[in-house]
Homo-oligomer: A and B are copies of this chain.
Amino acid sequence: MKNFTSVADVQNPIALINEAIALKKNSSAYSDLGKNKTIGLLFLNPSLRTRLSSQKAAQMLGMQVMVMNLDKEGWALEWNDRAVMNGNKTEHIKDAAMVLSSYFDIIGIRCFPTLTNREEDYSEHVLKQLIKYSTVPVISLESATLHPLQSLADCITIIEMSKSTKPKIVLTWAPHIKALPQAVSNSFCQWMKALGMNLTVTHPKGYELAPEFADGIPVEYNQQKALQDADFVYVKNWSAYEPYGQTPVVSEDWLLDEKKMHAANARFIMHCLPVRRNVELPDELLDGKRSLIRLQAENRLYSAAIVMKKLIENKAI
């Protein structure tokens, strides 16, 4: 069974990116491809871009789409095997997945982490259970630890905007007021590694990323130094991996601004959105010429569409 839950599910990431770029240039060419196919987009968490871009991508391919806020509009789900369901959970994922597989040709699911139980989150328990019991392909619409459709869109954006074949890319931690998942950052690291990109990560001490995904990527704790001559600066907050889900106090100023970008001779800024303006990134950068956020959001359409296209065609992703 083919699924799309991480770059590890992709046979040839650079080929996939190039196919997405080709699709973007010819997006109306496949409007009959998904005829008589139905995709179910299931949400356990809020979503704007993913919800809408996935719908639109499916429609671009001629598929029927059903969107469901799974546990609000359906039944509270039990995710653990062999559970004696005498609590507040009404339906087991085993049964729900079987039913969904009867009605859908592809299932997309968004399932955020708890940020309280690292073992459970990093085992991707929820996503894995859905996949275990589904008989159709599953697409991650952001799971506990990864957000591959976002990363694919980010890669498309970098390839589109890069002047050189080996751009310098920096992933920088940014301030925030609450604990956020590590999924976007983990996923970005994973894709950059798969593509052999020149990535440096910069963050305050205590915010080291999960070794599962960041191992081997150089870390530079001095943000200004990390930014030097960067072509792409990916800005993102995340909570600590250890102690898990915590947000150790950071006394230095990690908020980027034009001055820092200019001083470092750095070029573009990227953010997956939603962004807390003037907390994670200032208006001047988000709204200025360095900003690629619009292009990233637009590329979510083609990131989703190329993955769905492969699954409809039953080809390796």
Contact = CB atoms under 8 A, between A and B. Distances in A.
Given A95-B275, A273-B99, A275-B92, A283 B82 contact: yes
Contact of A301 (B56, B103, B294): B103
For chain A, which range describes its interface: under 10, 10 to 19, 20 to 34, or 35 or more residues? 35 or more
B91 A301 contact: no
A224 interface: no
A274 to B, nearest CB: 4
Contacts of A40: 52
Contact of A278 (B52, B83, B279): B83
Interface stretch (A1-9, A42-50, A239-247): A42-50
Nearest to A27: B36
A131 to B, nearest CB: 17
Contacts of A51: 68, 73-74
Interface string A281-306: 00100110000011001100100000
Contacts of A273: 91, 95, 99
Q: Which residue among A46, A66, A96, A103 has the maximum number of chain B CB atoms within 10 Å of its CB?
A: A103
Contact of A75 (B46, B102, B177): B46
A85 interface: yes
A45 to B, nearest CB: 10
A73 B47 CA distance: 6
A64 interface: yes
A56 B104 CA distance: 9
A182 interface: no
A59 interface: yes
Given A73-B43, A73-B51, A102 B36 contact: no
A146 to B, nearest CB: 20
B274 A75 contact: yes
Interface string A73-102: 111001000111110011110111011101
Contacts of A162: none
In the complex, the 4 A-B pairs of residues with the closest C-beta atoms, listed nearest first: A91-B274, A48-B74, A85-B276, A84-B278
